[in-house]
Structure 1
Amino acid sequence: MEHPQRRRRATVHDVAVEAGVSRGTVSRLLNGQRYVSDEARQAIEAAIVKVGFVPNRAARSLVMRRSQAIGLIVHEPHSLFVEDPNIGSILLGANETLSEADYQMATLIADSARDIARLGNYLSGGLIDGVIIVSAREGDAITRAVTRLDIPAAYVGHPRDIGDAAYVAIDNRSAAAAITTRLRETGRSRIGMIAAALDRDSGADRLAGFTDALGETFDPSLVESVPLYSYGDGQAGMRALLARHPDIDGVFASSDAVAAGAMDILQAAGRRIPADVGVVGFDDSSWAMRCDPPLSTVRQPAGDLGRAAAAAVLRQVEGAPAPGGGTVLDCPVVWRSSA
């Protein structure tokens, strides 16, 4: 049986012959260099289509010393990566911006010390041109590796030890204070908080905002700390608060997933929402509309955070200096019937 002959792959030489230009002119255009006339560019682009030329990305990367890839590092457990819709929205927003710039996104999850050590080796290999870092903690080994290797980087959030590195964030403290104040204005007098993720800036700032809003009436025994922004931690935190303070009449949960877990525990205990207990969350994620009643919350623009972080990294990859500061996006309160 005869096998059909495999079609020869078109080369830069084929494009140059078809376009009537030199190979050097074709190479300059493919490598993004200047000094290619509009007439030559149009002829080359038409020739590429006609001969079916596909650029060799690996070879181009060697010439340009770029991989055309940006890493998005999520420092969260695998379970939260799947459960938290904010992470997905950040990822999609970043990918949109990178795709428009013809960059590939490599998603990297750091769940353990072994993951972090592996990531350090990966980052040093020159396989990516820059990184977007989500959920970094102060003293994070990933931050140390990025700083040591001098990789273009942007953080989603604002850990206090990143110096003048680029970051994109929201004002967690002011937003937490605003929604706590509004909850208090509904007549609640025993307001507690399920405070998640206090090892990172977002969690610590939301607790600070809650404290600001309550002022002299703040009672630390009405705060229950939990490790993660997760539904299960919301359940655990609410059980602990109810055991200590059965008279609680308001709850600020530091994420929508935490609020959903808290609401299920309250309702299982016979507490009506909002008649007996008002509940508010943070994020305005898909969790908020799964709740019954729908959750009052803070709208976090997760997709915009991802897009802005990707843009900040690309500017650095293209040679612009690190901006020496951050971008803070608006995050309004969204009031629904849970409070």
Structure 2
Amino acid sequence: MKDVANEAGVSRGTVSRVLNGQPYVSDEAREAIEAAIAKVGFVPNRAARSLVMQSSQAIGLIVHEPHSLFVEDPNIGSILLGANAALSEADYQLSFMIADTTRDIERLARYLSGGLIDGVIIVSARVGDPITRAVADLGLPAAFVGHPRDIGDAAYVAIDNRGAAREITNRLIGTGRSRIGMIASALDRDSGSDRLAGFVDALGSRFDPQLIEPVPLYSYSDGQAGMRALLERAPDIDGVFASSDAVAAGAMDVLQAAGKIVPDDIGIVGFDDSSWATRCDPPLSTVHQPAGELGRAAAESVLRQLRGEDPGTSGRVLDCPVVWRASA
């Protein structure tokens, strides 16, 4: 900084104000400092700045999902990219963390307590999630993607999973199906349980619990397993709501291998409007989940908290319209 100040002909205090994005610096001085930085090759020492400012300029994004799902679920990547775009604009670094095993969770709790990140975005938290408890205990600025029921007044951004599931199930009913089942994934988190609730809402008195097949994850292989179980138990099934596009793709492959024609014999719908939906044959009717917008909104919420502002996202729910294609 001394070299930059000497080269630009200004004080070190003026250099510091420019580096920290503070006001009260003339355009002429700012231009001179930026030219001096380029000439002397100055790069701020982030570690030293963190010690002085008690800020790491890093935000953690924690995804509580098995490693296997990262290959299959495009939503995770879209949430990450949306969050990273917002943080990059604010000159913050994204630190990506995966919580798969109990060991991962314990390691992350220790890491969070070390002051190496300023706040967190949490994806796929469950009720009673130890990551949620660790963040609350540390008092870190946080925003959830999704809305677990035990986060109190913490900031979150979400979609109306229940309402969207009800709407697309009603559309499926409207195609004349009478024996409609569901492959219900991830019932241990709010997204999965809310999609099941919306399905039950739509069917009302016609709901048959024997036509529900719970599976652990929003994955292609779980879609295959769920569809095989439904076909074995109810060979006359003529409609399926799969709780994600990856699940629907797995289900469609099983149906087609069994000689069923989609949508003539069985109509099928999914959830996410991901790349899985357009790769299916026929293309999948689904619900559009704005994953990138969810990631951006969560990141902006954490940044507002760090500035001492209202997070502005507590209770915020983004639109998730039905996208109707040929699979039903």
Q: C-alpha distance in 2, partners of 1:78/1:326?
A: 29
How far apart, in 2, do the equivalents of 1:188 and 1:110 lie?
40
The equivalences for 1:152-167 within 5 A come to: 152-167=141-156
Of the candidates 231, 248, 263, which is equivalent to residue 274 of structure 1?
263
Aligned to 2:227: 238
Q: Provide the TM-score with structure 2 as the length reference.
A: 0.97
Conserved 8 A contact 1:31-1:60: no
Matching of residues 1-20 of structure 1 within 5 Å: 12-20=1-9
Deviates more, 1:275-284 or 1:94-103: 94-103
Gaps of 5+ in 1: 1-11
TM-score, with structure 1 as normaliser: 0.94
Count of residues in correspondence between the two structures: 328
The percentage of aligned residue pairs carrying the same residue is: 80
Structure 2 unaligned blocks of 5 or more:
none
Equivalent position of 1:97 in the other structure: 86
Identify which range, 51-60 or 109-118, moves more after superposition. Answer: 51-60
1:299 corresponds to 2:267: no
Partner amino acid, structure 1, of 2:254: I
* Cα drift, residue 54 of structure 1: 1.5
Q: In structure 2, do the counterparts of structure 1 residues 324 and 265 end up closer, same or farther at CA, with 3 Å as the change threshold?
A: closer
Q: 2:110 aligns with which of 109, 118, 121?
A: 121
- 1:296 & 1:119 partners in 2: Cα distance? 38
Pick the aligned partner of 1:85 from 61, 68, 74. 74
> Which residue does 1:207 correspond to in 2?
196
Distance (whole Å) between structure 1 residues aligned to residue 283 and residue 40 of structure 2? 57
**Please, which moves more after superposition, 170-179 or 36-45?**
36-45
Query: Displacement, 1:323?
Result: 4.0
Residue 216 of structure 1 is matched in structure 2 by: 205
The match for 1:172 is: 161
Task: Judge conservation of contact 1:254–1:281 (CA < 8 Å) in 2.
Answer: yes
1:52 aligns with 2:60: no
Deviations 1:70-90 (A, max 9, x none): 100000000002211110111
Contact 2:143 2:301 in 1 (8 A): yes
CA radius of gyration, larger in: 1
1:338 counterpart = 2:327: yes
What CA RMSD, in Å, does the superposition of the two structures yield over aligned residues?
1.2
Check conservation: 2:273, 2:287, Cα contact below 8 A. yes
Which residue number in structure 2 is paired with residue 194 of structure 1?
183
